[in-house]
Amino acid sequence: MKLQWFGHSAFRIEIGGATILIDPFFTGNPSFEGQSAAAAAEGVTHIVLTHGHGDHIGDTPSIARETGATVIANYDLCMWLGKHHGLEKIDPTNTGGTVHHDGFTVTYVNALHSSAMITEDGVSHALGNPNGVVLHFDDAPTLYHMGDTDIFSDMALINELHKPEIGIVPVGDRFTMGGAVAALACRRYFDFSTIIPCHFGTFPILDQNAGEFLAAMEEDDDKVKTPAVGDVLDL
């Protein structure tokens, strides 16, 4: 599995015949400046969205139209993308549900956040519940992208049900848990072999680095990978 970070919560996964984007926020993402959106989206077969905020939907409509990628999201968000952006290749699901694709499955789990979109005309659209996503692969470790969330005790159930080995964890504070709390979530509820912090440094109001998270991981800090934007990890 090749995993590439594009800043904020945006990731690209290449495995087998699938190329998956999670929360592809490129346009307007200060962390992504200097990167190529076309290169990031090249060959994409699937787009997985955690929730309906603009910094997570990102460039999904244009990428889906240009590549023909299937968009996987909660039902409300899928229907909104279909109605307002004309997307037809959508695979709606919801919390607790699993969708099956060639070589992998996606299961939507809880997250503590919000998920409405206020469009330029000032209209608020309810876009379902926020989620984390668990990706099980036929021939690779299970990956859990937490989405935007605080810590919650049912993370223990997510671990019991899915046993994820790779964790993508928001650590930037203000809109998600901060570094110390994110480290508590990882150490108390999971047995990750690899942890990638995200959702930091994008905007001035977020924590600018993952230092607090690394410090709070203490003796488990060797599990943490902190790639530069655009870096590729072989997992």
pLDDT in tens, 33-92: 999 999 999 999 999 999 999 999 999 999 999 999 999 999 999 999 999 999 999 999
Give Cα separations from 46 to 18, 183, 206 (angstroms).
7, 30, 29
Provide the CB-side half-sphere exposure for 210 (13 A, CA).
21
**Whether pLDDT at 121 is above 90:** no
Pairwise CA distance, residues 170 & 182, whole Å: 7
Count other Cβ atoms within 10 Å, centred on residue 138: 10
Q: For the chain, what are the domain ranges?
A: 2-226
Domain 2-226 of CATH type 3.60.15.10: yes
**What tens digit of pLDDT does each residue of 184-195 get?**
999 999 999 999
Tell me, yes or no, if the pTM score tops 0.95: yes
Residue pLDDT, tens place only, 5-15: 999 999 999 99
